[in-house]
Amino acid sequence: MSPDKRTMTLNLTEQEMRVLEDLCVRKDVSKTALLRQALRLYQMVDARLGRGEKLFFEDEEKKKAELMVV
């Protein structure tokens, strides 16, 4: 069912690894699954910004802050 997968080595700092592991626990997924999600999100955001759209976060008081993505 799943397409062929490629394997890579990822070098992270201690802190980055801790963040990754913490996110995996909270989301109940493995590091691979979490990084695949991150890649999809990054591609989606990049494509929409590329089309001239903007990305905002809105707080509980409806104040909006634009997120700048590199």
Partner 1 sequence: MRTHVTIIDFKTAKPVEAEVFDEVTVDHFLEAQQEWRPIVLRAARELARRGARELIPQHLHWDWTSKAPQLNVLANIFYGVSYDGKLQGLMKVETVGEYCRCRLPEQDGKPLVYVDYLEVAPWNLKPLAEALGNTPRFKAVGSRLVEAAVLKSVEEEFKGRVGLHSLPMSEQFYLRVCGMTAVGRDVAKQNLLWLEYTPEQAGRFLSGVRKP
Could you say which DSSP state residue 64 is in?
A: E
Residue closer to partner 1 (CB basis): 14 or 66: 66
Question: How far apart are alpha carbons 36 and 23 in whole angstroms?
Answer: 13
In the complex, minimum distance from the CB of residue 22 to partner 1, in angstroms, rounded to a whole number: 13
Compute the least distance from the CB of residue 17 to partner 1, in Å.
Answer: 19
Residue 41 CA to residue 39 CA, distance in Å, equals: 5
Nearer to partner 1, 1 or 68 (CB): 1
**Footprint of partner 1 (CB under 8 A):** 1-3, 26-30, 33, 36-37, 39-41, 43-44, 47
Q: How far apart are CA 57 and CA 64, in angstroms?
A: 6
